[in-house]
């Protein structure tokens, strides 16, 4: 963490001290309470950062970001995560049924799906950009 929040640090220290005093029976409740405070801290920071960015955009000191860039990232991230989660059982099935050849084919398919998805997103974004440029002319 680049910047340390002293209040959050105090909360962590208090949580750890309370755990020592109460014992491991209350560990899940203490952890849940600390994570809730951490979540609130993150929400507060994100809201503050978004408000600062909106002010900068409103003043014209920072260009507005493309909405497509964030969507593209999350789409790629979701496909990658689903691929990795599904890769585990698929790899096991492939090895049991076809050995190393099956594993190779399985992973070639996983890599192929991710590559095609990534190329498709790039092509779609390129088309949108070209349409905007044509509309601007």
Residues 30-44 pLDDT 10s: 878 888 887 888 878
Instruction: Report the candidate in 19, 17, 11 with the shortest Cα–Cα distance to residue 41.
Output: 11
Say if residue 17 is in the same domain as residue 38. Answer: yes
Last residue of a domain, one of 13, 40, 64: 64
pLDDT at 1 > cutoff 50: no
Give residue 130's domain range: 66-137
pLDDT of amino acid 103: 92
133 vs 47: which has the higher pLDDT:
47
Half-sphere exposure for 32 (CA within 13 Å, toward CB): 4
pTM value > 0.75: no
Contact of 30 with 15, CB cutoff 8 Å: yes
Query: How many domains is the chain built from?
Result: 2
pLDDT tens profile 17-68: 888 888 878 878 887 888 888 788 887 888 888 888 888 877 877 655 555 5
Q: Which residues contact 107 (CB under 8 A, 6 or more apart)?
A: 87, 91
Q: Are residues 74 and 136 in the same domain?
A: yes
**What is the model's pLDDT at position 108?**
93
Let me know whether 10 and 56 are in one domain.
yes
Phi-psi region of 59 (alpha: psi -120 to 50; beta: other; left: phi over 0): alpha
Rg (CA), the chain: 24
- Per-residue pLDDT tens over the stretch 68-121: 556 777 777 888 888 888 888 889 999 999 999 999 999 999 898 888 887 877
CA distance 100 to 116: 24
pLDDT over threshold 60, residue 3: no
Of 14, 47, 64, the residue that ends a domain is: 64
| Residue 111: both structure tokens together | 């890599």
Same domain for 58 and 2?
yes
């Amino acid at each position: 963490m680049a910047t340390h929040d002293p209040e959050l640090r105090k909360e962590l220290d208090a949580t750890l001290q309370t755990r020592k005093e109460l014992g491991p029976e209350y560990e899940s409740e203490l952890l849940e309470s600390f994570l809730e405070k951490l979540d609130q801290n993150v929400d507060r920071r994100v809201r503050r950062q978004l408000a600062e960015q909106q002010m900068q955009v409103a003043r014209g000191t920072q260009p507005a970001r493309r909405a497509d860039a964030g969507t593209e990232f999350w789409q790629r991230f979701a496909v990658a995560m689903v691929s990795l989660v599904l890769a585990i059982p698929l790899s096991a099935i492939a090895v049991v049924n076809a050995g190393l050849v099956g594993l190779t084919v399985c992973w070639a398919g996983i890599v192929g799906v991710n590559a095609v998805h990534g190329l498709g997103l790039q092509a779609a974004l390129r088309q949108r950009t070209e349409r905007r440029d044509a509309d601007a002319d």
